[in-house]
Amino acid sequence: MGDRESLNALAERAQNPHWREQAQVALDLYGHLDFLSKVGRPRHARVRFHGRDVGTLEETISLGGATRFTYFAAYLAIPGARPIAPNLRLRPEPYECDTLHPFFANLLPEGALYTRTARRLGLKRSDRFGMLLHVGADVMGAVEVLPAEPS
The DSSP element (H or E) to which 43 belongs, if any, is: none
Provide mean pLDDT across the span 38-62.
85
Does the structure show a pLDDT above 80 at 131? yes
The percent of residues in the chain predicted with pLDDT above 70, rounded, is 84
Using pLDDT thresholds of 50, 70 and 90, give the confidence band for residue 94.
Answer: very high
65 and 92 inside one domain: yes
9 and 83 inside one domain: no
20 and 65 inside one domain: no
Q: Which domain holds residue 102?
A: 44-148
25 and 49 inside one domain: no
CB atoms within 10 A of CB 57: 27
21 and 62 inside one domain: no
| Number of structural domains found in the chain | 2
133 and 74 inside one domain: yes
70 and 112 inside one domain: yes
Using pLDDT thresholds of 50, 70 and 90, give the confidence band for residue 79.
Answer: very high
Quote the pTM value. 0.71
Across all residues in the chain, what is the average pLDDT? 84
85 and 143 inside one domain: yes
The predicted structure's pLDDT at residue 14: 76
56 and 82 inside one domain: yes
Using pLDDT thresholds of 50, 70 and 90, give the confidence band for residue 17.
Answer: confident
66 and 118 inside one domain: yes
Q: Where is average pLDDT lowest: 63-67, 74-78, 112-116, 121-125?
A: 63-67
Q: Is 122 left (phi over 0), alpha (psi -120 to 50) or beta?
A: left
Q: Give the alpha-carbon dihedral of 138, 84, 81, 48, to 10 degrees.
A: -30
119 and 133 inside one domain: yes
